[in-house]
Structure 1
C-alpha cells in the first residue's frame, strides 16, 4: 500500500489532552502521515518542528467550508507552510442540505478549488451518508454524483468515506470504479453487523476489495478513521494499521 495516514479525529480524545505527545505516539505506531482535524493551537513553526521530529507527512487537512470561505488565505498559508497539499471540506451542517444548497455548493467548490489550485493546493470534499440521497423528489440524481458531475476535475477531488457509503446502501467498490479519477483519497472505516464503527478489518466491509478498487481507480493514499472507538483510540488506530499492513501490495 502506498501511504497509510491516520485521520486525527480518531484520536481526538488524546489530542485534546496532549496534541504533541499524541502525534509522537502516532508516529511510533508506524503511521507515516496524518490528516488533520484541527491543529491543536500550534503555530506554523511549532507544527513544522513537530512534523520534522516525528517524520509524519501532512497528507491533508479537514477545514470547514465556512473557514475556507471566510479565511481562505490563512488556511492555505498554514497548509502550504507545513507541506500539506490538500484542503478537504469535511462536513455540511443540516441547514445546508437542500437541493438549492447543493446546487450552490458545486459552484462554491469550483471557485475554492480554482483558488486552491492557483496556490499549488488541491481541494477535496468528504462525504457522509446524506450525500447518497437523491437531490430531490423530482431529481433522482444522488447528491454526491451531482457534485462530481458539476465540479471541475482539474481543481476539485473527492475523499470517499467507505463506512458512510456502505451505511447509505452504496457499494464502495462499485462507486470507486464508476468514478475512477475523481476520488483521490479514501477513508478506510469499517462497520460492525450492527452498523456501528469498528477497527479496519474487524467489521463486515470488504476492505481488501475496496483497497484494490481504489488502487486501480487512481487512489494513492488511504486514511484510517474510527469515529467512535470502543477501545482506547490509539489502540484502535494501531489495530487498523496492523490489518492494512497485512494486505498484499
Structure 2
C-alpha cells in the first residue's frame, strides 16, 4: 500500500514542479534523507522522483541493499551527481580510508559528518576538543586523497563558551586545510545561531548548506532535537533565505541541498523548490 501511495503522490506533485538547473548560481540539490521513507521501498523510483522534481545533485549514499557502484550508476543514468556523501563520526575515526574509498566510488568531493557523540543533551567543551582533534586527523587523510571533510552543525554546539560558543571553538580550532563545514539552516537557528552572521564571520569555512526552515514561533534550544512538524516549507518559517543565499554565495559555499525532515516531503519539497525559484 505504501508503495502505491508513494507513486500516486509523485504523480500528483509533478505538475507543481518545473526543472531548474540552479538557484542563486548553486546547482539544485537535495539531501536524500528527505526521501528516507521512499528509498527503502524502491530506491530507483525514489531517484526517478528526485530527477522529476528537477534536482541535478544529491547529498547521500547508497541505501541498504545497494552497492555504492550500483547507486552511482543509477544516479549517472538519471543525470544526477553526488558531490557530497555522509560518514559517521566513529567511521571517520576508525577507518577514514574506507570513507575515502566509498566517496571516490560515488564521485563525491565532500564528506559530511552530522553528529559528534556526547552524553544525552550535555555537549561539553571536552566533547568539542575531542572532535577538533579527530576531525583534524581524519580531515588530513581525506585531504591527502582529494576530499574535503565538512562538519554539519546540529544546534547543540551553540552552547555559550568563553566569548562565543562551542561552535566558534570548533571552527577556530580545526585546521582550515583539513576541515570545513556544512551549515544546516534549521539547526543553526534552533540552536540560537544567526546563519547570515556566521556565513560572513567564517567566510571560506562553509562549503555546503542545508536549506531547511524552522516553524515560526518555535523557540529552540541546544538539544539538537525538535519534532518533525517543526520542519516546514522553505520561506514559511524563521529563516531569511534571500540573505542566507547571498551570504553563502559571497562566503564560498559550493553546494546547497534542500532537506525536509517533515513527514510531508512529497508536498513540501515542490513548494520549497517553487519558493527558491521565485527568490530574486
TM-score normalised to structure 1 length: 0.91
Other structure's SS at 2:30 match: strand
Q: Deviations over 1:127-175 (max 9, x none)?
A: 111111124xxx3531111111011111110001111111122211111
Match of 2:248 among 211, 214, 219: 214
Match of 2:127 among 75, 96, 101: 101
For structure 2, which runs of at least 5 residues remain unmatched after alignment?
A: 1-23, 219-229
Other structure's SS at 1:16 match: coil
Match of 2:178 among 155, 161, 169: 155
Measured after TM superposition, the shift of residue 38 of structure 1 is 5.4
Q: How many residues align?
A: 243
Match of 1:169 among 192, 196, 203: 192
Instruction: Please name the residue that 2:60 is paired with.
Output: 36
Considering only aligned residues, what root-mean-square deviation do their CA atoms show, in Å?
1.7
Q: Residue 97 of structure 2 contacts residue 141 of structure 2 at CA under 8 Å; is this kept in 1?
A: no
Measured after TM superposition, the shift of residue 14 of structure 1 is 0.9
- The answer to whether residue 147 in structure 2 is matched with residue 124 in structure 1 is no
Q: Residue 181 of structure 2 contacts residue 208 of structure 2 at CA under 8 Å; is this kept in 1?
A: yes
Other structure's SS at 1:14 match: coil
For structure 1, which runs of at least 5 residues remain unmatched after alignment?
A: none
Instruction: Please name the residue that 1:75 is paired with.
Output: 99
Instruction: Please name the residue that 1:87 is paired with.
Output: 111
Measured after TM superposition, the shift of residue 91 of structure 1 is 1.1
TM-score normalised to structure 2 length: 0.82
Match of 2:35 among 8, 11, 31: 11
Counterpart Cα distance in 2 of 1:13 and 1:188: 19
Measured after TM superposition, the shift of residue 23 of structure 1 is 1.3
Counterpart Cα distance in 1 of 2:139 and 2:117: 20
- The answer to whether residue 271 in structure 2 is matched with residue 239 in structure 1 is yes
Other structure's SS at 1:26 match: helix
8 and 44 in structure 1: CA distance in 2 versus 1, 3 angstrom threshold: closer
Instruction: Please name the residue that 2:232 is paired with.
Output: 198
Q: For structure 1, which segment, 69-78 or 166-175, has the greater mean C-alpha deviation from structure 2 after superposition?
A: 69-78
Q: Residue 9 of structure 1 contacts residue 37 of structure 1 at CA under 8 Å; is this kept in 2?
A: no
Measured after TM superposition, the shift of residue 37 of structure 1 is 5.8
Q: For structure 1, which segment, 211-220 or 109-118, has the greater mean C-alpha deviation from structure 2 after superposition?
A: 211-220
Q: For structure 1, which segment, 120-129 or 86-95, has the greater mean C-alpha deviation from structure 2 after superposition?
A: 86-95
- The answer to whether residue 138 in structure 2 is matched with residue 112 in structure 1 is yes
Q: For structure 1, which segment, 149-158 or 72-81, has the greater mean C-alpha deviation from structure 2 after superposition?
A: 72-81
